[in-house]
Amino acid sequence: MATDVDIAQFVFRAITERKSLVLDILEDNGIKNMEQYSALMGELNALNYIKQELAGLLEKQEHNYD
């Protein structure tokens, strides 16, 4: 059975992969219009926030195990 840490690590990896995909689209001029650009930037901001929160949670869990 998966632990909370396993689930958090899975989500962390999924966020990292999606963030990489969004950055690739932005860097490779794969943007079709301003609406898509705005949506991708919003998604990137959300991914960064969630990733930061998860990193903090994982760090707290690590300290609890020590």
pLDDT in tens, 14-54: 999 999 999 999 999 899 999 999 999 999 999 999 999 98
Classified as helix, coil or strand, 60 is: helix
Domain membership of residue 18 as a residue range: 4-65
- With contact defined as beta carbons under 8 Å apart, do 58 and 9 qualify? yes
What residue type is assigned to position 2 of the chain? A
Number of domains in the chain: 1
pTM score of the predicted model: 0.80
Mean pLDDT in residue range 1-26: 89
